[in-house]
Amino acid sequence: MQVAIIGVTGYAGKILYQLLSHHPYVSNINLYGHEDGTPHQYLLDPSIQEYVSIQPFDAATIMANNDVLFFATPAGVSTKLANPFIEHDFPVIDLSGDYRLQDINQFEKWYQKPAPSPEALLKTNYNLPEFDTPEQTYIANPGCYATATLLGLAPLVQNHLLDNETIIVDAKSGVTGAGKQPKSSNQYVHANENLSLYKINQHQHIPEIIQELQTWDPNLAHIQFSTTLLPVDRGILATIYVKPTAAFQKLLANNADTLKTIYQRVYQTKPFVNVYPPDQMPDLKTVVGTNNCLIGLTYNPITNVIMIVSVIDNLLKGAAGAAVQNFNQLFNFSETSGLPMTNYNL
């Protein structure tokens, strides 16, 4: 296949390029910018001094020369550029947040930008690859925090085992989550030897998490969700605290393995999600460099709190890796094609 990427100069775009370069069903990658202009050369990989050519944006050319397009662009870009692709039902996988929220008011509230048109939204799908199947050819790829949180909560929410009023997610992310543009929040001296909370009750991944949770349990109305910046390059660790329903509490009290059993049942067929043995918690470094999501589980009978730890690499499973999963799904390739399941970490 011929694939197009817009946004290779960002973090997720670069990782996406590298994944697709080694993908067994991709024969060629064409790179495009956000704007008109002339082609230019870009040093993508200094290690092998690899320069790539970035073409100006032109929807017709992109559709003529490619089988699929990936947007790895900042918020607001695909809202402006995607209409021709949507009109022609041209396959698109959009790593940005632009088409994730079906409710225009929610989008404008959380993103503080103009939303896509309702007509466009009707022809797009939010697609968490473990649980969704694309009905449209325009796929909104999930956000990184959303993926870690949703995979951590899915088995309990889908089976209605939670007191929905008790969900608290304390999520932590590495600095690449803040993007590549130099700014105060991604400076070395700001993040190094530090820990800081940001976007207090205002992170734009909150509404997409709730939207997806509600497809599993319409009674679920909200979650408490906080985001903390870690002094690491990559990785998200979400610590999730919830209380069980009264019925589920009894099951947990009787059988310590109940929690693990429920998660195993859901995830045994999902190649990228691994559930740890009870009371063992995955760490960040184990998952970085892979497309995996690792899940640890513990139940504290004294406080009646279930703690779930969900870790992913924010640039792989949280962005480019999930995009390739969606690509594999859209074109019926094997789900793990071109995706790393182990790393060279120590």
Instruction: Enumerate the active-site residues.
Output: 144
Q: Choose between 136 and 336: whose C-beta lies nearer to a second copy.
A: 336
Q: Which stretch binds a second copy (CB under 8 A): 88-96, 100-108, 256-264, 277-285?
A: 277-285
How far apart are CB 292 and a second copy at their closest, in Å? 6
Q: Does 257 bind a second copy (CB under 8 A)?
A: no
For residue 64, state whether it binds a second copy (rule: CB under 8 A): no
267: number of CA atoms within 13 Å, CB side? 24
Instruction: Please state, in angstroms and as integers, the Cα–Cα distance from residue 171 to each residue in 44, 146, 185, 195, 331, following that order.
Output: 31, 10, 17, 12, 33
Query: Residue with structure tokens 């509230």?
Result: 109
Contacting a second copy (CB under 8 A), which of 296, 317, 330, 333?
296
Query: Whole-number minimum distance, CB 108 to a second copy, in Å?
Result: 18
Give residues 25-54 in contact with a second copy (rule: CB under 8 A): 45-50
- Contact of 238 with 145, CB cutoff 8 Å: yes
Closer of 182 and 218 to a second copy (Cβ): 182
Q: Are 171 and 228 in contact (CB under 8 A)?
A: yes
Residues 187-246 that bind a second copy (CB under 8 A): 187-197, 200-201, 222-224, 226, 228, 230-235, 237, 239, 241
Residues 315-344 that bind a second copy (CB under 8 A): 315-316, 340-344
Q: How far is the CB of 136 from a second copy (least distance, A)?
A: 30
* Closer to a second copy by Cβ: residue 92 or 316: 316
**Residues in contact with 173: Cβ distance below 8 Å, sequence separation at least 6, in sequence order:** 144, 145, 227, 228, 229, 230, 235, 236, 314
Give yes or no for residue 282 binding a second copy (CB under 8 A).
yes
| Pairing of the two strands 2-6 and 68-71 | parallel
Q: Shortest Cβ distance from residue 198 to a second copy (Å)?
A: 8
Q: Which long-range contacts (CB under 8 A, 24 or more apart) does 213-222 make?
A: 213/150, 213/153, 213/157, 216/154, 216/157, 216/158, 217/157, 217/158, 217/160, 217/164, 219/164, 220/157, 220/164, 220/167, 221/164
Q: How many residues bind a second copy (CB under 8 A)?
A: 81
Asked whether 212 and 139 are in contact (CB, 8 A), the reply is: no
Applying CB under 8 A, which of residues 294, 312, 324, 339 lies at the interface with a second copy? 294
59 binds a second copy (CB under 8 A): no
Contact flags string 129-168 toward a second copy, x per CB under 8 A: ------------------------------------xx-x
Q: Least distance in Å: CB of 134 to a second copy?
A: 26
Rg (CA), the chain: 20
Scanning residues 84 to 123, which ones bind a second copy (CB under 8 A)?
Answer: none
Q: How many other CB atoms are there within 10 angstroms of residue 267's CB atom? A: 19
Q: Are 145 and 171 in contact (CB under 8 A)?
A: yes
Smallest distance from the beta carbon of 181 to a second copy, in angstroms? 9
